A and B are shown apart, each in its own frame.
Chain A
Amino acid sequence: MQTYNLTHLKELESEAIYVIREVAAQFENPVLLFSGGKDSIVCAHLAKKAFYPAKLPFPLMHVDTGHNFPETIAFRDKFIKELGAELIVASVQESIDQGKVVEEKGFNASRNGLQTVTLLDGIEKHKFDAAMGGARRDEEKARAKERFFSHRDEFGQWDPKNQRPELWNIFNGFKNFGENFRVFPISNWTEMDVWQYILAEGIELPPLYFAHERECFVRDGVVMSTSKFIPQRDTEETKTMQVRFRTIGDMTCTGAVESDADTLEKIIEEVAATRTTERGTRSDDKRSEAAMEDRKRQGYF
């Protein structure tokens, strides 16, 4: 007897494509959030597959903290050009200049928290009614309860106690005027799934993900890249290290790991053997045990 069974990667891919197509069909003005990190690259790749041979029926939006790794921006521009998609940049610097947010001060100052305001502004300005993103449920406890279609009130807030039940594969995108949705097509993927998929599909990534030599310093046990955006203490000595990044966010809060993994195969081996979660290298989550949940309630991705 012939068996009809998909591999787990094919099933995850098929689920994500289905979700992305539902978004395009159920909303008038969706957008795909693009950070230049591997999860959003995978999302964009899936979106391309979902509508092939047609072009993406929605633009991509990058919430730019202004504190990016230069490699991220170079990669972003090349990637978007090849994809043939429209890119919108929502700038945190602009939000600061407009006095909508106030920049943090001190050694651990980060623009990560300010992104929320810029993101919500961007959504409002362009009248997006659905913003897709590459968040995964395995990243963090609070994310484990997210729906695929996550309803946000007119202030962009998430109410974890009052989520719409989500059954089978039927997604309810009904909303009132001014409300919008966050949608997470790769909700069910783990970090390992993402890496395996990138390898299987031959997806190109920013060089930051692969082991390379870099000027770094260590703060609170986290390896940080030296940067004009991060004031260094005298005691924080700069040294050249062989590192790679497991996530790519704002330079001020994305830590590196020491690693020799300079190919996808080696990265997968490393991920399989690694004993800390990938967000463990992001200092924004460490501020308090419930940090992520608090930021999500306010509208953070």
Chain B
Amino acid sequence: MSSYLDMELLRFSTAGSVDDGKSTLIGRLLYDSKSIFEDQYEAIEQTSKKKGDEHVNLALLTDGLRSEREQGITIDVAYRYFATPKRKFIIADTPGHIQYTRNMVTGASTSNLSIILIDARKGIIEQTHRHTFIASLLGIPHVVFCINKMDLVDYSEETFEKIKKEVEAFASKLDVKDIHFIPISALKGDNVVNKSENMDWYKGSTLLYLLENIHIGSDHNHIDCRFPVQSVIRPHSDEFHDYRGYAGRIAGGVFKKGDKVIALPSGFSSKIKSIDTMDGELQEAYAPMSVSMTLEDEIDISRGDMIVRENNQPNVSQDVDVMICWLNDKPLQAGGKYAVKHTTNDARCIIKDVRYKIDINTLHRNEEDKNIGMNDIGRIAIRTTKPLYFDSYRRNRNTGSLIIIDEATHETVGAGMILT
């Protein structure tokens, strides 16, 4: 009971190309950690029998919508949940198809950790490069490479080490902070939840042990104080007649009562009078807490403004360079106008320049081909109609990310990571 109230939350995503065993791995994690219900198990047992499968196909557990069932593939991000006494896990299950970079980016955007699957028989393939690159681009703090189907390569240490070396060589060129390698068999269960009896040579931890113990306390920025204001709370009641609280979710840093702060864009300064929640006042608040703040002085602050510490301010600019991942069939229009959402701020922007497009397999920067279409990633320069208050994405995922919206269809067409 008390342990339950100490549990942490870890969000992770999975990537791998088709048939690398992603669904089987997730099914295995759920099954071996006893997160599968009887009726769910019975349903997949029946389906497996109907299909003439030899084993109960654990992959069916994560198989979602009907059209996908018919095609036998996963085509979107699906979320899965399980818990152990230590942590609750949210899995963003994303597909491995070439055309679905968009989904991996979506699933990875909120992850603390990414699991990238590699088929031990095939070793590194084009998709491995792509998945690793996306994980690094999205600033996922921890990346775990699971070398799967070890049972099909006689649990060979040599095979594992060879793949590990190749990945390390490749990943050293990328900005991945924390890398792990685990040899597994998702089908047989080796090193997923239970330690493998077939791989004495592997001295590391199982996947579940790693997921339960990896240090995530530093995944949020606790240095640069950023508080994007969502709305202003004005009760207009007798009891709280003059109450004016700024509601929002802390995007970075640790705010304390009495801190000297300034509000952007006005630049007016004040002190934090109180940090409130319905459960009472807090002495300090940090990301990702939702609170309401009151200030000593009455200054004009509304949604989209940002409260920051006086001595540590974000960049303020209308000209922003962004690494963009394009998510729509209709390509990016150079010179085109779009709506932008950044923290709680809304603006419009014009695409001033496409600097280059990245070949996500070779990481080559192509300055000739500037057509950014569905699933492409490239660097662009935008000018916004009003200043944004931002940090680089590397420094803070909350204040360094933005989305671009087509003003005609209202669809989210681009995911942007701010460079400068």
Contact = CB atoms under 8 A, between A and B. Distances in A.
A172 B410 contact: yes
A265 B249 contact: no
B170 interface: no
B65 A160 contact: yes
Given A141-B63, A145-B77, A172 B405 contact: yes
B125 interface: no
B36 to A, nearest CB: 9
B8 A277 contact: no
Given A7-B7, A289-B43, A145 B65 contact: yes
Given A145-B78, A163-B76, A9 B65 contact: no
A161 B64 CA distance: 12
Interface string B187-230: 00000000000000000000000000000110010100000001
Contacts of B69: 290
B133 interface: no
Contacts of A141: 63-65, 78
B290 A54 contact: no
Contacts of A55: 235, 237
Interface stretch (A20-28, A70-78, A118-126, A250-258): A20-28
A8 B288 contact: no
Interface in A173-188: 174-176, 187-188
Q: Is the interface of B mostly helix, strand, loop or mixed?
A: mixed
B80 A53 contact: no
A236 interface: no
Interface string A272-301: 001111001000000001100100000000
Nearest to A166: B106
Contacts of A170: 341-343, 401-403
Considering residues B80, B106, B245, which has the most beta carbons from chain A within 10 angstroms of its beta carbon? B106
A97 B23 CA distance: 48
Considering residues B39, B236, B303, which has the most beta carbons from chain A within 10 angstroms of its beta carbon? B39
A38 interface: no
Contact of A145 (B1, B76, B110): B76
B62 to A, nearest CB: 8
B249 A53 contact: no
Interface stretch (B82-90, B144-152, B348-356, B376-384): B82-90
B5 interface: yes
Interface string A52-92: 11110000000000000000000000000000000000000
15 contacts: A4-B222, A6-B8, A7-B9, A21-B247, A49-B279, A141-B78, A144-B64, A145-B76, A166-B412, A170-B403, A172-B412, A188-B90, A196-B5, A277-B39, A290-B66
Given A18-B290, A165-B412, A277-B40, 15 more contacts: A6-B8, A7-B6, A13-B290, A17-B249, A52-B276, A53-B233, A167-B109, A167-B403, A167-B415, A170-B342, A172-B341, A172-B403, A172-B412, A190-B81, A196-B4
Interface of A: 3-15, 17-18, 21-22, 24-25, 48-55, 137-138, 141-142, 144-145, 160-161, 163-170, 172, 174-176, 187-188, 190, 192-193, 196, 200, 265, 268, 274-277, 280, 289-290, 293
Nearest 3 CB-CB pairings of A with B: A174-B410, A8-B9, A275-B38
